[in-house]
């Protein structure tokens, strides 16, 4: 409340504030700032490809710089590359920007068909576990480019596509 009738060039200001962290707001998820607990990357799994699912019947787990990486029979994308292209890390707060940067970075890799990110809340805490699944692009796709100039000076460019 503001009272300007106090005197010449004076204003009395009465500030009333409420404590926003009360019991009702603590229970409201909109006010919780989530932190990342565990990050798991499943590298090379395409749930729509039967052979990919078969590869993951036998899996290998690697921990690289605090990130859990799960591989099937075939190793797909080395741990340092996965780490460098993922910005969701244990101990960091959840951020839309970091999630979008991770999507953008992983999906821009030519070997990647699609990356997905899922979050699972840790019970009775403000923590999230993140699972990133990376589906490989068609590994049997080749593109070869040939450039040449003939003796008449005409430039030629040929692209040959092959897929199995």
Cα–Cα dist 109/81, whole Å: 10
Closest listed residue to residue 38, CA positions, set 144, 143, 122, 159? 122
Determine whether 63 is exposed, middle or buried from the number of CB atoms within 10 Å of its CB (0-12, 13-18, 19+). exposed
Mean pLDDT per block of 10 residues along the chain (164 residues) reads 57 57 55 93 89 87 97 92 97 96 95 95 96 84 47 48 42
Which residues share a beta bridge with 115? Answer: 134
CATH level 2 (architecture), domain 31-137:
Roll (3.10)
Domain ranges of the chain: 31-137
Cα distances from 136 to residues 15, 45, 149, in angstroms, run 59, 7, 36
Closest listed residue to residue 99, CA positions, set 132, 136, 64? 132
């Amino acid at each position: 409340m503001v009272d300007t009738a106090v005197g010449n060039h004076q204003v009395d200001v009465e500030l009333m504030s409420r404590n926003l962290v009360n019991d009702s707001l603590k229970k409201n998820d909109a006010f919780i700032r989530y932190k990342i607990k565990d990050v798991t990357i499943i590298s090379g799994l395409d749930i729509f490809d039967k052979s990919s699912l078969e590869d993951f019947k036998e899996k290998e787990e690697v921990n690289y710089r605090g990130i859990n990486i799960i591989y099937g029979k075939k190793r797909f994308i080395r741990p340092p590359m996965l780490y460098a292209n993922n910005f969701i890390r244990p101990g960091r707060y959840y951020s839309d920007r970091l999630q979008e940067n991770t999507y953008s970075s992983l999906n821009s890799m030519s070997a990647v068909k699609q990356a997905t990110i899922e979050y699972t809340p840790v019970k009775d805490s403000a923590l999230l576990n993140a699972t990133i699944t990376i589906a490989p692009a068609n590994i049997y796709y080749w593109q070869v480019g040939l450039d040449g100039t003939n003796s008449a000076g005409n430039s030629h460019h040929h692209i040959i596509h092959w897929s199995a």
